[in-house]
Amino acid sequence: MRTGPTILHLDMDAFYASVEQACKPSLRGKPVVVGGLGPRGVVATASYEARQFGVHSAMPTAQARRRCPNAAYLNPRFGLYREISQTVMELLARLSPLVEPLSLDEAFVDLEAGGALAEEDPRGVGERLRRQILAATGLNGSVGLAGSKMLAKIASEEAKPDGLVAIEPGTERELLAGMTVRTLPGIGPATEQVLRRAGIHTIGETAEAGEDELLRLLGKAHGTALYAMALGVDERPVVAERDAKSVSVEDTYDVDLTDRTQVQAEVARLADRCVRRLREAGRSGRTVVVKVRSYDFSTLTRSETLRGPTDDPGVVREAAARLLEGIDTTAGVRLLGVGVSGLADFTQEDLFAQWSEAEAAAAGVAEPAAEAAAPQPVRVDRGQPARGEWRPGQDVAHREHGAGWVQGSGLGKVTVRFEGPATAPGRVRTFAADDEELEPASPQWPVPGHEPLAE
């Protein structure tokens, strides 16, 4: 553990939604939800205005619509998010050679590894970083500073939105004492329930219970790790960026799963979680992997390679379900996992070619036979879907009216609001979906007054 708060954790505030509000003046100060908009879509990010209605990330979009029906629901534009993320990560790299990105909008920085502390204390470095990010992108980020990664991340959560919190070494236990056990990394609902049954609700109560009691409740590995975290101990170093070869999630169950329907539901849930992580990293993948560990600790993995890279949750969910069909789970399952490998920075242009007819119909998308049979994937900007795919939030340009974005489409029509980062809220017009004067366009960026970083 360090003697000063020299590990920095940056978390951009409602990143995807904030980018959309910066680009679309009519949405500033209003609820915005970014994510999958199909019948089985999930929320990637909700603006703070939408969060006031109880909308949050990982929530089914259908549920979010019920809670906040008047929000703007937009498809993500990962190409633009990656571009802005690169600017932010470059600012972090100027502070230290040890930068550990967790996603497009989140990273750890080891300030002791660079020269940032030569003339400023950690708090000064953090405040200067937030000003630089705002100047370069027009967006806000929250900063946590502490002597460990775990505490720095907790501090940035406490700082949200648009703030900075520093946890001085020696104050950890007092700060953590009243927080719920779910605050600690890796503590999910199952572990929380085990602790709750033992009368343990807060981190302070976890530390007071002692290591022996936690070992009895949770087993050696989990109990030892939890006790250390409850004391505020985290020795993990900041690890410089490495190119991920796969993205995966897995869950271990306190009671072995024997019901086949429950196993199938868990695999579907894990597939959705895996895709959320994939999208947060701005990646796609072509190989889906399912992992099943049985009651006797024997482990099976099965994989399926798709025709092209994808980040579509329906595609990954269906592939995972097919893989599970060939695995016998009747004796009991103690662990399930879903992963995606063969990562790429792009998806196949015709994602609908991988959809089932039912999914395509539910999403209101016709599946042209000629396109579905196209043998070669095409690399495209995620922010520029092909003509006829008009998606909410998509950038477009009209020969007469200029640049704008799609508010909605259906029944052969597409509605466009013509505005951009430098304009006042724009006018709305409706066109035929096949209007030859309307074209997909590149995102409008940067926000006026925010200049690209100097070399």
User: Catalytic residue numbers?
Assistant: 106
- Going from the C-alpha of 279 to that of each of 226, 289, 378, the distances in angstroms are 29, 17, 19
Radius of gyration over every alpha carbon of the chain, rounded to an integer in angstroms: 23
DSSP H helix total and E strand total for the chain? 15, 17
Q: Which residues pair with 284 in a beta bridge?
A: 344
Question: Which residue is associated with the tokens 């259906």?
Answer: 410
Q: Alpha-carbon distance 185 to 280, whole Å?
A: 18
Q: Alpha-carbon distance 277 to 270, whole Å?
A: 11
Q: Are 5 and 170 in contact (CB under 8 A)?
A: no
Separation of CA 160 from chain center = 17
- From 290, 345, 321, select the one nearest 82 (Cα to Cα): 345
Q: Are 8 and 109 in contact (CB under 8 A)?
A: yes
- From 266, 326, 258, 249, select the one nearest 295 (Cα to Cα): 258
Tell me the two tokens of residue 181: 């056990």
Tell me the two tokens of residue 358: 């039912």
The DSSP element (H or E) to which 397 belongs, if any, is strand 395-398
Question: Which residue is associated with the tokens 């092909």?
Answer: 386
For 28-38, b/e burial (b = at least 16 CB within 10 A) is: eeebbbbbbbb
Q: Alpha-carbon distance 363 to 355, whole Å?
A: 10
Q: What number of other Cβ atoms are within 10 A of residue 115's Cβ?
A: 10
For 316-342, b/e burial (b = at least 16 CB within 10 A) is: bbbbbeebbeebebeeebbbbbbbbbb
Q: Alpha-carbon distance 11 to 282, whole Å?
A: 16
106-110/7-12 β-pairing? antiparallel
